[in-house]
Structure formats: C-alpha cells, structure tokens
Amino acid sequence: MRTIMVMFDTLTRKFLPNYGNDWVYAPNFQRLQEHCVKFDRFYSGSLPCMPARRELHTGKYNFLHRGWGPLEPFDCSSFEILSQNGIYTHLITDHSHYWEDGGATYHNRYSSWEGFRGQEGDRYVARDAKAELPEHTHPLNKQGISVVQHYRNRTRQRTQEQMSSVRTFEAGLNFLEEHQDLDNWFVQIEAFDPHEPFYVPQKFRAMYGLPDEETLFWPRYGGLPEEYKKDMELCQKEYAALISMCDVSLGKVLDFMDAHDMWKDTALIVNTDHGFLLGEHEYLGKNFPPCYDELVHLPFFLHIPSLAEGGECDALCSTVDIAPTLLDLFGCDTAALKEIDGRSIKAVLEHREESKQQVLFGLHGAYTCWTDGNMVYMKANESEEQTVYEYTMMPTNIRGFFAEEQLRKAVIVNPGKYSNGMPVMRMPSRPMSLAHQFGDQLYDLACDPMQENNLAKTADCSVYNAKLKEALQQAGAPEEEFARLGLE
C-alpha cells in the first residue's frame, strides 16, 4: 500500500464546485470525484491549526484539555507508528507553525520531512531592511509585526514558481517520481494555502476581475462593520483566486497519478483543518465567533483502491478518524493509538464498524459543540469568569512559553485517557473566549443550512445538554469542562 495525503489549510467547502459552488474556478477539485468518495458530513474536531494536527496524529480530541500546543511526550503518533511498522513516512510542507514553539514536535514524528519558508508571518526574511508596505491598505486588513514580516517574505516570492505552496507541491511530485516503483510509503503534501493572507499572482486575481492592487486580502478576525459589508465580494474573490492557484497544484498530483496508473494501488486523501468566515454571520476569520458550518463542516475526499472509487458518503466523520484510518490502510493495529475518539473510515466503508452517531468539535475554553450531522448544538461558557486548565508536559504557545503566573500554579495530575494514563502538569489557561457573549446555539441543518435561526433562544435544550454531557464523558473531558458549561 502507498498513500498520498494532500492537505490544505483553511479550505472552506462552500467555495468548492464539489459542494455546489458555481463561480470559483477549481476544475481539479472537481476531478477528485472521478476516483474519490466525497464525504458530505465530515467535521473538524479541535480548532485551529495545530490542535487539528494533533488530532491528525493521535485520533483524540485536543480542545477539551489543551489549546494550541505541540505533540506531547505521552501522545501516540499515527505517523510514528507507521514508521515503526516499516512504512516510510515523509512530510512536505510550507506550514511554518511546524517549526515554532507550539508545533515543533510534529514534523519529527515522520521518517523524514522537507519544509519551505515564507508563509504569512513566518519569521523568515530579516526585517532589518525597510519593508515594502503599501501606502494604502484596507481598514479591515490585519496589522502588526506579522504583516511587516509578510511583506519582507514577499521579496522572495515574486512569481508563482517561487511561492512556497507551489514549491511544496513540486517537492511532492519529486517524491512521487522517486517512489513510484516502491511500496509501503506515505507522503503528506501539506500546503498552508489558502490560509490568509490571500497573496497570489495577479493572473489568478485577474480571473475574478480583481484590480492590480491590493484590496481586503488579509482580513483581521472580528465582527464585520456595516459600512464594509460591500467589500466582502472583493475579499471572497481574493480567497477564490488563491483556491484557484491551489487547484493548479492539486491537478499536477492528479495528473501524475493518471500518468503512472497509481489509482490501482495508491490511496489518496484530500483534506483540510478548518474553514474561514468571509462575512458570513457578519464575521471575519475564526476562533472567536460560534463554530458555524463554514468553519467546521469540512470538505473531505478519499480514494482507496477497490473500495472508495467515486460517489458520495454521508457517514458522520471527523478529523479524529484520520489517524486510525491511516493505520488501517496499512494493516496496522489501530489499538496502538490507545483509547482514541476516532474510528477507521475504511472499517466503516467495509462495514466492519458502524458509522458514528455523534461527534464533538470546538475551541479550548470557548465553544464546546455536538452534532449528529443533522442538529448542531454549540454550548457556551455560562459567564466570562470560568475555570479552564491546560494539561501538558510542554507549556508552550504558538510562539513562546507559558507565562510565569501560569507556571507557578502548576500541579501534577493524571487526566486518564487524554494522557494515556501519564501524569501531566495542570495549570490555568488563558482562553480568549467570546462564547458567553454569543450564548448557546442550536441549529437544524435540514431546515436551516445557513444557520440563521438559533433554536436555542426558544427551544428546550435539555435533551441536547444530555447528549453533549454523554459525549463529553465518553471523551474523558475534565471535570471543569462540565462545570463551566453548566452540565454538572
């Protein structure tokens, strides 16, 4: 068996033709359905980037115990398990968070890895020289040191060929060329695009009638002021232009698989970690608003020779299911992951396991959510004052370490399933939650797919509180999670 995973960051399903979009140019995403099963009820688990990748390794929910952080010493990594079982694993990525404090233990779990610099605010090109900042920027564009860094990084990415995500895919094609006649390997071609900033050559922007000047291309997270709603069409086109460049890169992988007849003996996964709000629900970005469908209801495509070769699947699945699926694809025992929250999608397709009846998703210290694929229930903390802890052996954030006042309050505890029975440090968290301001949210996706009618305002939510509480118990959530949600 050989497996290719093509992973994009921040790929919102409503922008893909596979899921009904009729204006974004992405013919290669459309091509996926010639050989892949399209999943209609696939959800994220933990938001945002590195929490999602921890689930990719472990098959366990991250957000109930930990915010943004590295893979822990007690974690079982699916990729490390594959390597231990004679499967060569290789990561190719331009996702710079892999080599920052809060993500620096993930890429080392692969047999080998290759990285490309320069995305977003990657501390890459020296800022000694004056950054080429535009004279005028849109008021809703992000500001700060990461923006200055981005413009410095741009000096080494002037052309499409120099773009780090394009170079990532070229390295992926080199791997396929060198390994096409070999067996027992896994390669993860992971692009940071189409994550913001939506920086893309003008030829892709011209496809959507965008001017040869910057518009709202790096929206800062927050509410959408009324006076800027008219600018959302331009912002969405900036995002679409980047998707179209991603589509070209994806097409090269599909072309290679066609040319070398790899569909008969090679599995393919195309996935993402989360989506993005571009004016929907009057919000920009992620992390702070409720976990609306645009953020958590994900595109997912899977090809398994002689099993998953086209069509659609409505089985309820989640990011935590990918790790056991990878082990199952290579005939490895999924029990090696230890007490996981996920289950093998391959086993579900083969009817060896039943599909899930419910999944969880959310952000640490913010919304904790439940869905059965029909109803979505988002439970907010009951007040701004809440007790939230980080359970960790590695107290790091995205960049930098935990604050001194957090470290001084550390105690040693054993959270059980989450840490595979290992003792860890528990210390106060610093969640940036606005969930209490939005309140509980309940939506019937069949009647209200755009999530415009919050049923929690009028309905009796006791049955959904009970379902959420049961799911949290099964996932081994800590005691304070029930308390802060009012589910004691």
pLDDT digits (tens, 9 = 90+) for 256-287: 999 999 999 999 999 999 999 999 999 999 99
Contacts of residue 257, Cβ cutoff 8 Å, sequence gap at least 6: 4, 35, 263, 266, 268
Within-domain flag for 354:
no
Mean pLDDT in consecutive groups of 10 residues from the start of the chain, 488 residues: 98 98 98 98 97 98 97 98 98 97 97 98 89 86 94 95 98 98 98 98 97 94 96 97 98 98 98 98 95 98 97 98 98 96 98 96 97 97 89 96 97 97 96 88 97 96 97 97 93
Q: Are residues 424 and 454 in the same domain?
A: yes
Tokens linked to 116: 């490309």
Q: Are residues 372 and 297 in the same domain?
A: no
Within-domain flag for 385:
yes
Q: Are residues 333 and 396 in the same domain?
A: no
- The reported pLDDT for the residue numbered 397 is 94
In the sheet with 368-371, reading across from the earlier edge strand, the strands are: 359-362, 368-371, 375-379, 441-444
Nearest to 308 by CA among 255, 362, 357, 269: 269
Within-domain flag for 194:
yes
Nearest to 375 by CA among 43, 55, 21, 14: 43
Q: Are residues 421 and 298 in the same domain?
A: no
Within-domain flag for 42:
yes
CB 29 within 8 A of CB 49: no
- The reported pLDDT for the residue numbered 433 is 80
**Across the strands, what pairs with 6?**
189, 270
Q: Are residues 135 and 114 in the same domain?
A: yes
Within-domain flag for 274:
yes
Cα gap 238→193, rounded to integer Å: 12
Cα gap 243→43, rounded to integer Å: 20
How many domains are there within the chain? 2
Cα gap 231→140, rounded to integer Å: 10
Q: Is the previous residue joined to 48 through a cis bond, with omega within 30 degrees of 0? A: yes
Q: Is the alpha carbon torsion for 326, 328, 333, 337 positive or negative?
A: positive
- The reported pLDDT for the residue numbered 488 is 81
Cα gap 297→300, rounded to integer Å: 10
Give the type of residue at 455: L
In the sheet with 389-392, reading across from the earlier edge strand, the strands are: 389-392, 424-428, 411-413
CB 158 within 8 A of CB 152: no
Within-domain flag for 403:
yes
Continuous segment of H or E residues that includes residue 206: helix 202-206
- The reported pLDDT for the residue numbered 87 is 98
Q: Are residues 118 and 221 in the same domain?
A: yes
Residue 327: give the domain boundaries.
Answer: 2-349
Within-domain flag for 230:
yes
- The reported pLDDT for the residue numbered 287 is 93
Q: Are residues 140 and 262 in the same domain?
A: yes
- The reported pLDDT for the residue numbered 135 is 82
Q: Are residues 306 and 372 in the same domain?
A: no
Task: Residue 68: give its domain's CATH number.
Answer: 3.40.720.10
- The reported pLDDT for the residue numbered 128 is 80
- The reported pLDDT for the residue numbered 130 is 74
Q: Are residues 99 and 198 in the same domain?
A: yes
- pTM value is 0.97
Q: What is the secondary structure of 134-180 as a DSSP string?
A: -S---TTB--SHHHHHHHHHHTT--SGGG-HHHHHHHHHHHHHHHHT
Instruction: Among 349, 371, 404, identify where a domain stops.
Output: 349
Within-domain flag for 102:
yes
Instruction: Among 308, 328, 349, identify where a domain stops.
Output: 349
- The reported pLDDT for the residue numbered 97 is 97
